[in-house]
Amino acid sequence: MLEDTDSTYEEIENLSNTKIAEAVRLLTKEQGYVMQNYIERIRNNDIAKMVKLADRIHNLSEAKLASIDFQIKYIKETEDWFIDLAKGTIFENDLKNVLEDLKLQIKHN
């Protein structure tokens, strides 16, 4: 099954096309995945990269509802991996802004 679905690669390919199915495959974290490898394969696929960045921005904006420990972990992961991934994309400023908003919320709690 692929990224948050009950679908196979073939089902996604049949419903859309090979490019979409490949992007979804790249976004799917395999058991025991290494974050550096995961990010690098996403970095090299424009569709997967845009989807991942949009998802990260949404998740950051919703993280304020999670525990402080989760928020801190998510901020660090975003700084370590996603700020660089977003460089030069339409999501670069949005990601930084949502990240800073979450940091400010933690600071005021």
Q: What is the pLDDT of residues 21-75, one digit of tens each?
A: 999 999 999 899 999 999 999 999 999 999 999 999 999 999 999 999 999 999 9
With beta carbons less than 8 A apart as the criterion, state whether 106 and 65 touch: no
Q: Are residues 91 and 50 in the same domain?
A: yes
pLDDT the model gives residue 1: 77
Q: Are residues 100 and 53 in the same domain?
A: yes
- DSSP assignment letter at 29: P
Q: Are residues 6 and 24 in the same domain?
A: yes
Residue 36 tokens read as 């550096």
With beta carbons less than 8 A apart as the criterion, state whether 105 and 64 touch: yes
- Residue 34: count other Cβ atoms within 10 Å of its Cβ: 9
Q: Are residues 60 and 9 in the same domain?
A: no
Q: Are residues 49 and 79 in the same domain?
A: yes
For the cut 80, the answer to whether the pLDDT of residue 109 exceeds it is no
Q: Are residues 78 and 97 in the same domain?
A: yes
**What is the total count of domains within the chain?**
2
3-state secondary structure of 65: helix
pLDDT the model gives residue 108: 81
Q: For residue 65, give its domain range.
A: 34-107
pLDDT the model gives residue 102: 96
Using pLDDT thresholds of 50, 70 and 90, give the confidence band for residue 106: confident
CA distances from 44 to 28, 61, 76, 88 (A): 15, 26, 23, 14
